[in-house]
Amino acid sequence: MKNMRINIVNYFDDKDYTETINQVVTTALNTLQLPKKEINIILVDNKQIQELNMQYREKDYPTDVLTFPDGNYNNLGDLFISIEKCEEQRIEYGHSFERELGFLVVHGILHTIGFDHQTAEQEEEMTTIQEKILQKAKLYR
């Protein structure tokens, strides 16, 4: 997608997650018709995400993804993803690491644009959109 900027900062390890992240972000933004956007994706460990979860949500446990919407038209915001949680959940759900990472990226993007899952209806809508994007990105269960 033209004029899209995906900034990936990896504080976790020296692996390259760029291909999966770029594929999912591009598919999501095209599907959601969100052109010319910028997003920051920060990869961390459980300890780092737990500290952020405590600081910003007063929840003292590691989570998989934290979303900080920017509010700027061109910048979706920051997504913090725990690579450790991603690996744990990949095993729990029995699918690939790439599928779980893609899910967390899409989930975070949807939160940046106002989607939530506080009610059953919201969760169903969010799940439907997530699955549609992941299918288009060829990241199957």
If residue 6 lies in a helix (H) or strand (E), which one and from where to where? strand 5-10
**What is the C-alpha to C-alpha distance for residues 15 and 13, in angstroms, rounded to an integer?**
6
Is the pTM of the predicted complex or chain greater than 0.85?
yes
**What is the C-alpha to C-alpha distance for residues 125 and 141, in angstroms, rounded to an integer?**
19
Output the tens digit of pLDDT for each of the chain's 141 residues: 456 899 999 999 999 999 999 999 999 999 999 877 899 999 999 999 999 999 999 999 999 999 999 978 789 999 999 999 999 999 999 999 999 999 999 999 999 999 999 999 999 999 999 999 999 999 988
Are β-strands 75-82 and 65-72 bridged in parallel, bridged antiparallel, or unpaired?
antiparallel
pLDDT for residue 3: 67
Three-state DSSP state, 91: helix
Are β-strands 5-10 and 38-44 bridged in parallel, bridged antiparallel, or unpaired?
parallel
Radius of gyration of the chain (CA): 14
**What is the C-alpha to C-alpha distance for residues 98 and 139, in angstroms, rounded to an integer?**
7
